[in-house]
Amino acid sequence: MSATRKELLAGGALLLATSAAPLLLAAPPAAADGNPNLSILEDGVKLKQIIALAYTTLAGARRRERKLRDLLALFAAHERAHAAALLKQAEYLGGPPPPAPTREGLAKVFPNLAELRSARSVLGFVTTIERGELQAFYAAQQRLDEPRLLQLMASVMCSDAQHLALAREAAGENPIPSAFETGQTR
């Protein structure tokens, strides 16, 4: 197992949250059952699941304004749907379903999640996460070799770009600063 894959599995989403590096397969992983597509899908499922749990946790804070809670709940639902679609393809390729993320695992990946109290800090977190997801999936899709998986990855990336635009808009920023979104900061 490569170091990058280990980072993802052990909490590499923290790297995503800090924009230190795209984490979803920044380097080719050891192929699951000899199929690199399966590795990409499995890592994507795990990433989407932990982010869905983070958004659900943030949405559950009653001290947040209703509009922000609703936005977080919507994003969490989308992340779960992405995870389910990726998982379906991974299972088709013979991959086992990963264990569901736990609150303890969430605390390891995002140790400062509870400290996000203001709308501004929450939206900053969401913007960073969505930008990081775009970077990660952009890098990963370049190594897929099956058209249906490329189509799925492109659909996921479009949704993540919409999340990013909505988070920017909610933060009072330009929601669409460029014609093409790859998650890179400008």
User: Would you say residue 176 lies in a domain?
Assistant: no
Range of the domain at 70: 3-24+31-170
Per-residue pLDDT, averaged over 161-177, amounts to 94
**CATH at residue 117:** 1.20.1260
Residue 135: pLDDT band by 50, 70, 90 thresholds? Answer: very high
User: Would you say residue 137 lies in a domain?
Assistant: yes
Residue 47: pLDDT band by 50, 70, 90 thresholds? Answer: very high
Per-residue pLDDT, averaged over 25-45, amounts to 70
3-state secondary structure of 32: strand
Per-residue pLDDT, averaged over 98-114, amounts to 92
User: Would you say residue 93 lies in a domain?
Assistant: yes
Per-residue pLDDT, averaged over 90-119, amounts to 92
Contact 41, 95 (CB under 8 A): yes
pLDDT of residue 62: 82
- Using the predicted structure, report yes or no on whether residue 107 has a pLDDT greater than 60: yes
Token representation of residue 151: 């189509």
User: Would you say residue 177 lies in a domain?
Assistant: no
pLDDT of residue 183: 74
Distance CA 14, CA 118 (A): 20
User: Would you say residue 40 lies in a domain?
Assistant: yes
Per-residue pLDDT, averaged over 146-162, amounts to 94
pLDDT of residue 184: 72
Query: In the chain, how many domains are there?
Result: 1
What single-letter amino acid sits at 125? F
3-state secondary structure of 142: coil
Nearest C-alpha neighbor of 65 from the set 170, 186, 179: 170
